């Protein structure tokens, strides 16, 4: 590196780090002189190769890059440095700047394009803008992450204290190998919880396998779980591994375990205690190391009392119980989930989400949702298809959601005004973050709608709708 004072790769903590890449030493020192100020660490590299070799140690906040390098000339240098240091702003310098070259450099990801050597004031101003924008992007990402951390967990969204306690339970048990029994009605998200546990466990790089025990007859379930040997029954033309073997080293999720027969429950208890079994028609034991997560919508205590579920298996499974509340007991989550499902479906189908009226939302909030989150998601998909970009009125809802029992009101089970106030606060926060995020993307892509939509992960039509909502104009972000 040029200049021994800058050659030590020891950025001062809390300072902004700038990497200057120029093989003309005089130019490099001019840039260094223009940008040097308190709170910054500057490093000079005499070639692209030298700079790339220190990127992983330096982690610069800004790269000032000559496009006249001998070992990597032109916009290819921008492409390479952008790929190696995604998100780090690049100021491009050239000794013979042209309008066409400037446009090309910006298209390839440079935040600005200047002559080299440039006037100190202009270079300093461009660097200040780039560093400020990078800092703003980092702060924006932190805010977005805070929103996700507060309201989202492994693709499950909530602001309900009951669900937040469930998330705390998941965090507590995930790092262990304890057996977990997840209870809750159909559609409450039991499998999502099991996946969250697996992803936070030390088994996360090993298989996660799910099997619905209620979907098989007893004979087929035995083969599904433990596998079978060739010729063990009609149609067994070869050796087949069961899910216990396939999940070895990972996590096995046994869903609807309450639907199994007493005979199968005996077999499962033996496997859980010994972690060994025999394939159907086999004689040799197969040893496995599997973590068991189980779920059911059946009240197992009642099933034990009635003799339909083995008490010893219940206690073996119920090491760490988790109860998922139904949607009617976490109504404050309904607007948050609706927004997510409507936008998710709109993106999937290339359509616009509908605008939900107050009357429709009141009815939706008052409904008990017997199918829980799964039912809500299904209806949101239907509404995107049938009411794309239009108002979703009360009359567009299914009759069972529109109608209430005599004397029933939303206040019977929760305070609809409090829920709406909480929703409005969250919506405002999300909208502020979203508007700032779109502004950054539009500026980065110079108002180019397709590029911005792609970067945001939404359709161009959705981007247009959001820009209209937030009062943004593409022309305001185009240069010249």
Report pLDDT for 268: 94
Q: Is residue 388 part of a domain?
A: yes
Are 232 and 358 members of one domain? no
Range of 35's domain? 4-141
Instruction: Please check whether residue 63 lies inside any domain of the structure.
Output: yes
Considering the domain architecture, whether residues 223 and 300 belong to the same structural domain is answered as yes
Instruction: Enter the DSSP assignment of 92.
Output: E
pTM of the predicted model, to two decimals? Answer: 0.58
State what percent of residues in the chain have pLDDT above 90: 43
pLDDT at 427 over 80: no
Q: Are residues 341 and 439 in the same domain?
A: yes
* Stretch 286-302: mean pLDDT: 94
What does the block give as tokens for 3? 């200049």
Sign of the dihedral through C-alpha 36, 40, 45, 49: negative
Residue 155 counted as domain residue: no
Clarify whether residues 129 and 240 are in a common domain: no
Q: Mean pLDDT, to the nearest integer, of 46-70? A: 90
CATH code for the domain of 52? 3.40.50.2300
Residue 13 belongs to some domain of the structure: yes
End-of-domain residue from the set 293, 325, 357: 325
Provide the pLDDT for residue 404: 55
One domain, residues 17 and 91:
yes
Same domain, 364 and 290: no
Three-class SS state of 352: coil
Same domain, 319 and 371: no
The reply to whether 146 falls in a domain is no
Same domain, 359 and 336: yes
Within this chain, do residues 350 and 221 fall inside the same structural domain, yes or no?
no
Same-domain check for residues 131 and 181: no
160 lies in some domain: no
Examine the domain organization and report whether 90 and 185 are in the same domain: no
Q: Are the C-beta atoms of 191 and 322 separated by less than 8 Å?
A: no
* CA-to-CA dists, residue 179 to 272, 286, 317, 438, angstroms: 9, 20, 6, 44
Separation between Cα atoms, residue 264 and residue 410, nearest integer Å: 45
Same domain, 119 and 45: yes
The domain total for the chain is: 3
Give the pLDDT of residue 3: 45
């Amino acid at each position: 590196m040029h200049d021994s004072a800058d050659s030590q790769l020891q950025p001062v903590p809390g300072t902004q780090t700038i990497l200057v890449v120029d093989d003309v030493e005089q130019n490099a020192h001019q840039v260094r002189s223009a940008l040097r100020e308190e709170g910054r660490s500057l490093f000079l590299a005499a070639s692209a190769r030298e700079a790339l070799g220190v990127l992983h140690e330096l982690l610069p906040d800004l790269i000032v890059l000559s496009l006249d390098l001998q070992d990597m000339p032109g916009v290819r240098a921008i492409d390479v440095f952008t790929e190696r240091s995604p998100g780090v702003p690049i100021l491009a310098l050239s000794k013979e700047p042209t309008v066409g070259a400037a446009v090309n450099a910006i298209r390839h990801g440079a935040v600005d394009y200047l002559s080299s050597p440039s006037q100190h004031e202009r270079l300093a101003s461009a660097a200040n803008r780039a560093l400020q924008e990078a800092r703003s992007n980092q702060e924006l990402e932190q805010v977005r992450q805070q929103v996700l951390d507060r309201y989202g967990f492994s693709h499950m969204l909530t602001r309900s204290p009951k669900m937040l306690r469930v998330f705390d339970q998941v965090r507590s048990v995930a790092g262990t190998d304890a057996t977990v029994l997840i209870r809750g009605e159909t559609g409450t998200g039991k499998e999502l919880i099991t996946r969250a546990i697996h992803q936070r466990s030390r088994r996360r790089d090993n298989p996660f396998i799910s099997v619905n025990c209620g979907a098989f007859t007893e004979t087929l379930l035995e083969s599904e779980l433990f596998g079978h040997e060739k010729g063990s029954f009609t149609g067994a033309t070869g050796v087949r591994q069961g899910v216990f073997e396939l999940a070895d080293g990972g996590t096995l999720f046994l869903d609807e375990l309450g639907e199994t027969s007493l005979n199968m429950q005996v077999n499962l208890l033996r496997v859980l205690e010994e972690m060994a079994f025999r394939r159907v028609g086999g004689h040799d034991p197969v040893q496995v190391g599997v973590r068991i997560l189980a779920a059911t919508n059946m009240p197992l205590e009642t099933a034990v009392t009635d003799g339909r579920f083995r008490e010893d298996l219940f206690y073996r499974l119920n090491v760490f119980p988790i109860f998922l509340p139904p949607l009617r007991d976490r109504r404050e989550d309904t607007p948050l989930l609706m927004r997510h499902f409507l936008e998710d479906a709109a993106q999937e189908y290339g359509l616009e989400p509908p605008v939900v009226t107050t009357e429709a939302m009141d009815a939706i909030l008052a409904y008990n949702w017997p199918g829980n989150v799964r039912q809500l998601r299904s209806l949101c998909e239907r509404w995107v298809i049938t009411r794309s970009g239009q108002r979703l009125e009360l009359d567009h809802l299914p009759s069972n959601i529109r109608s209430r029992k005599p004397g029933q009101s939303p206040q019977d089970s929760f305070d609809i005004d409090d829920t709406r106030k909480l929703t409005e606060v969250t919506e405002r926060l999300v909208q502020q973050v979203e508007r700032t995020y779109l502004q950054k993307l539009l500026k980065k892509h110079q108002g180019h709608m397709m590029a911005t939509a792609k970067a945001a992960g939404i359709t161009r039509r959705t981007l247009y709708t959001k820009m209209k909502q937030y009062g943004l104009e593409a022309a305001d972000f185009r240069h010249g």
